[in-house]
A and B are shown apart, each in its own frame.
Chain A
Amino acid sequence: MYLKSLGKSATQAHLRSILATIPDALIIIDEMGVILSFSAAAEKLFGYLEEEVAGENVSMLMPSPDRERHDGYLKSYRDTGVRRIIGIGRVTTARHRDGNTFPIELSVGEARFDGKRVFTGFIHDITQRQQAELRFHELQSELAHVGRLTELGTLASSLAHELNQPLTAIANYCEGAAALLDAGPDAEQLEMAREALRDTAEQAIRAGEIVRRMRDFLSHGETEHREESLSRIITEANALALVGSREHDIDVQVRFDPDAERVFVDRIQIQQVLVNLIRNAIESMLDSTFRSLTISTQAGPRFLTVSIEDTGSGISETLAPQLFQPFVTSKQGGMGIGLSICRTIIESHGGRIGFEAGDDGGTVFRFTLPKAEVE
């Protein structure tokens, strides 16, 4: 019943020669899913000869759950005429004769053949492409991690300083409480000692928070895209980036657009971008008399924009065009990898990053992120 037996006209001979030579696997099935034709490339890809699969249900070439559901898909199309894959194509999984599955890109078409409806499926093996992409993502996430290590290196002394405050408080509260207890305290002194111990606990938690933020930031982990709250991401990153900057008297303004809240991102990586941009902004303002940092979000139709504006020294015209290139820096002792990693991260999230001169001589960095789709 398969094509070979359909007739011997010149058109069919022509078709046979195409089937033998096209580089992609081509499978033709009838309305019920029965295989009519199996090209030479398909034979190679699936490990079956045409003779072996012709007349069989095409679902034998699929792993579960498609294997069990494919007849249903066809029936649904026959009944409703609603196209779910025809003319659209998609990435899915196929099953080799040996039972192994592999990723494919499948494009399905519909045709009339001798008055009967048939479906044509072009199948392209994308195992190698997927491996390359996977490796690319791994490299990207490793790079981002190295970036975070570098970033934290520059933050280390500020973090140590920040940790010393609660530790100093703890030591002194404890010594004070001990002195009160040693002296054979009266009721009032006992209450003071108790209060000191409660304050101690509060300071221990304060120290723990600092450590937690640092550890989260460094966490190695796979990249993990999740639906997240943009305002929470920014608030946490801001807390980390502002460590040790209290003495610089920076006026920090944060403005959240309530419509720019849900994003689908890797939280740590976006925080890495934010920490980098905020630290840069702070550094650029150290010589300014007026130091103001404004972080804001804004919703657009498809993208959310995050802006970080400083009143710093601005970016020189010579540096500006290549600012996101690796190993370009205006900082003494800077490696020039921070912003290039930021760009890699934002672009891998499907967004864009850029900057422009601010109104008061500073710089505004902006990046966009796709909105999380609301179910």
Chain B
Amino acid sequence: MNSSDTRLVYLVDDDAAVRRSVGFMLKTSGFKVTSYETGVDMLRSAATLKDGCILLDIRMPGMDGLEVQQALQEKGVLLPVIIMTGHGDVGLAVKAMKAGAVDFIEKPFAKETLISSIDESFQRLSRKEATDDRKKDANMRLQSLTPRERDVLEGLAQGLPNKTIAYDLGISPRTVEIHRANLMIKLGVRSLSETLRIAFAAQGE
């Protein structure tokens, strides 16, 4: 393998089986993988991290994913971060995206989902300068939304569940669902994480 084009993934998960299996799958897909059991382990070698993408579990003993993400930023490590979440961790995942994570994927995930998130991370890595463009692009796409759809998007970006958004806006949860579906069609996105990525890009990072 030609080491200069081998893309590097740093994997942090406290569960040995997850670490081993995700590492195995990524290696068979042509990535180079370095695994860590805890965020502290990775932070210890933060200074020597090469360009690559960080795949971070959100629920871990000791430092959780959000804390690791923050500590990395404080150390000036600006590598793209993908958050792996479990069931019902959407609120946390939204926080992570606000803090600059490229994406969050819910366990268990399809191979394609993870690979496409990693691809997106590497694109971001190669065009750090493109942030302004993305902001412009995101703002343009948001133009197409109705005020109500923007309200719903605002709620989603705060990590609120549909029910709470409905309550805050004084509409039914069903109506929130309809707005949510419509705004995702208009934005041309298929997942909540993609939706949020646009919302946060528009706010400017």
* Whole-angstrom CA separation of A161 from B27 in the bound complex: 25
Q: Smallest distance from the beta carbon of B133 to chain A beta carbons, Å?
A: 33
Residue-wise, chain A 192-234 has the 8 Å CB interface mask toward B (1 for contact) of 1000100100110010000000000000000000000000000
The 3 closest A-B pairs by CB, nearest first: A172-B21, A161-B86, A160-B87
B24 contact from A176, A203, A249, Cβ within 8 A = A176
Interface members, chain B 1-54 (any A CB < 8 Å): 14-15, 17-18, 20-22, 24-25, 27-29
* Whole-angstrom CA separation of A203 from B20 in the bound complex: 12
A164 contact from B20, B27, B107, Cβ within 8 A = B107
CB<8 Å pairs between A and B, sample of 12: A160-B86, A161-B87, A161-B89, A165-B17, A168-B18, A169-B18, A172-B22, A172-B25, A179-B29, A199-B20, A247-B14, A247-B60
In the complex, which of the residues B25, B61, B111 has the most CB atoms of chain A within 10 Å of its own CB atom? B25
Which residues on the A side are within 8 Å of B60 (C-beta)?
247
A169 near B62: Cβ-Cβ < 8 Å: no
* Whole-angstrom CA separation of A170 from B109 in the bound complex: 10
In the complex, which of the residues A177, A196, A247 has the most CB atoms of chain B within 10 Å of its own CB atom? A247
A143 within 8 A of B: no
Q: Knowing A171-B109, A248-B61 touch, does A165 contact B18 (C-beta < 8 A)? A: yes
Which residues on the B side are within 8 Å of A248 (C-beta)?
61
Which of under 10, 10 to 19, 20 to 34, or 35 or more describes the interface residues of B? Answer: 20 to 34
A175 near B111: Cβ-Cβ < 8 Å: yes
Residue-wise, chain B 64-106 has the 8 Å CB interface mask toward A (1 for contact) of 1000000000000000000010111100000000000000000
A179 near B108: Cβ-Cβ < 8 Å: no
| Chain B residue at minimum C-beta to C-beta distance from A196 | B24
B25 near A173: Cβ-Cβ < 8 Å: yes
B25 contact from A160, A167, A175, A249, Cβ within 8 A = A175
Q: Smallest distance from the beta carbon of B117 to chain A beta carbons, Å?
A: 14
B141 within 8 A of A: no
A165 near B61: Cβ-Cβ < 8 Å: no
A172 contact from B62, B89, B111, Cβ within 8 A = B111
Q: Knowing A168-B108, A168-B109 touch, does A176 contact B27 (C-beta < 8 A)? A: yes
* Whole-angstrom CA separation of A175 from B108 in the bound complex: 12
| Chain A residue at minimum C-beta to C-beta distance from B87 | A160
| Chain A residue at minimum C-beta to C-beta distance from B106 | A164
A199 contact from B17, B64, B110, Cβ within 8 A = B17
A246 contact from B14, B22, B108, Cβ within 8 A = B14
Q: Knowing A160-B86, A168-B21, A173-B25 touch, does A247 contact B64 (C-beta < 8 A)? A: yes
B86 near A173: Cβ-Cβ < 8 Å: no
Which residues on the A side are within 8 Å of B17 (C-beta)?
165-166, 169, 199, 202-203, 206
Q: Smallest distance from the beta carbon of B56 to chain A beta carbons, Å?
A: 14
A180 within 8 A of B: yes
Q: Smallest distance from the beta carbon of B6 to chain A beta carbons, Å?
A: 16
Q: Smallest distance from the beta carbon of A209 to chain B beta carbons, Å?
A: 13
* Whole-angstrom CA separation of A199 from B21 in the bound complex: 9
B24 near A172: Cβ-Cβ < 8 Å: yes
* Whole-angstrom CA separation of A83 from B110 in the bound complex: 76
B134 within 8 A of A: no
* Whole-angstrom CA separation of A246 from B60 in the bound complex: 7
Count the A-B residue pairs with Cβ separation under 8 angstroms: how many? 85
* Whole-angstrom CA separation of A180 from B61 in the bound complex: 33
A165 contact from B62, B88, B107, Cβ within 8 A = B107
Q: Knowing A196-B24, A247-B60 touch, does A171 contact B15 (C-beta < 8 A)? A: no
* Whole-angstrom CA separation of A203 from B24 in the bound complex: 15
Which residues on the B side are within 8 Å of A196 (C-beta)?
21, 24
A157 contact from B20, B29, B88, B111, Cβ within 8 A = B88
B28 near A246: Cβ-Cβ < 8 Å: no
| Chain A residue at minimum C-beta to C-beta distance from B111 | A175
| Chain B residue at minimum C-beta to C-beta distance from A163 | B87
B21 near A247: Cβ-Cβ < 8 Å: no
| Chain A residue at minimum C-beta to C-beta distance from B29 | A179
| Chain B residue at minimum C-beta to C-beta distance from A206 | B17
Not counting A170-B108, A172-B22, a sample of 4 additional A-B residue pairs whose C-beta atoms are within 8 angstroms of each other reads A165-B86, A168-B107, A173-B25, A176-B29
B28 near A164: Cβ-Cβ < 8 Å: no
| Chain A residue at minimum C-beta to C-beta distance from B110 | A171
Which residues on the B side are within 8 Å of A179 (C-beta)?
25, 28-29
B59 within 8 A of A: yes
Interface members, chain B 97-133 (any A CB < 8 Å): 107-111
Interface members, chain A 13-63 (any B CB < 8 Å): none
| Chain B residue at minimum C-beta to C-beta distance from A193 | B28
* Whole-angstrom CA separation of A19 from B200 in the bound complex: 94
A249 contact from B15, B62, B87, Cβ within 8 A = B62
Which residues on the B side are within 8 Å of A192 (C-beta)?
24
* Whole-angstrom CA separation of A255 from B21 in the bound complex: 35
* Whole-angstrom CA separation of A170 from B110 in the bound complex: 11
* Whole-angstrom CA separation of A176 from B29 in the bound complex: 7
Which residues on the B side are within 8 Å of A175 (C-beta)?
25, 28, 111
A167 near B108: Cβ-Cβ < 8 Å: yes
Which residues on the A side are within 8 Å of B20 (C-beta)?
169, 199
In the complex, which of the residues B22, B84, B86, B89 has the most CB atoms of chain A within 10 Å of its own CB atom? B86
